[in-house]
Amino acid sequence: MKYANQIAKETIDKLSAMADADPERFKKPHHQVGPFKPRDDTEFWCYKCWVNQLEVPEDGYDLKPFFENMDLHFDLPEGFVPEKTLSLSHASDLMAVDCINDDYTPHIFDDIRDFYLTADLPTANLESCVYTEAPFGRNQPPVKPGETKTKASPRMNTSTGMLDKFVNAGIKYFSMANNHCFDYDEVGLIATYNELEKRGVAHSGTNIRPEDYGSVLVMEMNGIKVAQLSSTFDINGRECNTPWMIDRVGYCDNPANIDFIKMQVRKAKEQGADLIILHAHWGWEFEMYPRGCTVELGHKLAELGIDVIVGTHPHVTQPMEKYIWNDNGTERQTLIFYSLGDFVSYHPVSHNSRVTFVARYNAVKGKLNGEDRTLVTDLQILPLYILAAADENEDYDFRVLRLSTVLNDKPDENGKYQYGLCDWEREDLPRIREKILHGIILPKKCDYLLAEQV
């Protein structure tokens, strides 16, 4: 099938043999020290993407029990007097390339619309250019059989039709700072920025005027002001002679310099933001746990005064955290999504990328002990399955489904299922549910967290 597996078996076998011979290099997360180096070990990246996603945490941090026992209740404190409420939902990457095109996506959000798109403020990460002068798709040199690493980072470019689909569906904010925002250099970034401006939708993280660098977008809805910060750790190592065009923070450096975020948080507060959300493009791809330095960084960022951190980039879903901290004697809580995983994005040989989630919660503005507070409450998670099913003519049905929809899809009297998972995908569903969703992503006690039981 055209998009089912773009990597030759010979390549996968060769990488598997290399990993067996050197498990320290390939089969566990590396400890990051110093500045992040793009494409430092491309074969390690290829192994994680094409062969096995890493399902173990980094040594030395006890992250597995830390996340297994996480309490994700966000209850309003006793004595809090609510005045205004805003519902928000967060989804991850919009990387509409390959089979994710206008023809193959007529029902893309049908199954999740009532949860994701009925919130007052749905958000997503636009992880591609929208540049009509460049070809649609994932544009890079093909990986030849036996090659164990890629020659260049792909350039991602989606269509204006797909952008229209996202906007018309009801996504109201797009995070723009990510490692693919500069795939087509300055002209591609400017074109993408202008396409969003034409449609009148909110976005942040990229700039087309030097004076806008470091500015803060504050959206006011339902009487609540929400600051939307967006920044990325990298642009795939591409040269950029106009650094003011992209909000960049060295999230993957250890230690990381977060002065830029400090400045933005200060500006957000000066603009009267009630809720500060940081869309952080960070972390390491195809690793099911955040690395220890990312967790430590998440806590430092929270203590700047950030209420919600929405992590993207790893292309697999990672656990989440309620971080409790002390702000001059006042207890604060920060909701941290280390990685929302894939969304409108397709990695055909990354099995664990198929399971993901959309998050939804309320921001409630009111008074506590006579002081104005805006608090996060009623967090819910909807587990999803990314469907990319091809028929005999290599026409695709791409849509984002509830995981429960796929699990409950039973064959009719002719043995035909409603959704066209191939045999290995259907056989893999119990592992996806038990080992990945309930074994890694969610805490042990999670019934209160799930929008529906799966």
Range 410-422 average pLDDT = 94
Structure-block tokens of residue 83: 């005045």
Mean pLDDT score, 129-150: 92
Residue 187: CA count within 13 A, CB half-sphere: 5
State mean pLDDT over 231-242.
Answer: 96
Average pLDDT over residues 128-154: 92
4 versus 132: the higher-pLDDT residue is 132
Residue 4 — pLDDT band, cuts 50, 70, 90? low
Query: What Rg, from alpha-carbon coordinates, does the chain have?
Result: 21
Q: What mean pLDDT value characterizes the chain?
A: 96
Q: How confident is the model at residue 97 (pLDDT cuts 50, 70, 90)?
A: very high
Report the alpha-carbon distance of residue 5 to residue 16 in Å, rounded. Answer: 16
Task: Report pLDDT for 298.
Answer: 98
The reported pLDDT for the residue numbered 133 is 97
Q: Give yes or no for residue 355 having a pLDDT over 70.
A: yes
Residues 6+ apart with CB under 8 A from 8: 143, 144, 145, 146
pLDDT at 365 exceeding the cut of 90: yes
- The structure tokens 């029990």 sit at 65
* E strand segments, 253-369: 275-281, 308-312, 320-327, 330-337, 355-368
What phi and psi, each to the nearest 5 degrees, are found at residue 331? -75, 130
- Bond from prior residue into 255 cis (ω within 30 degrees of 0): yes
> What three-state secondary structure class fits 133?
coil
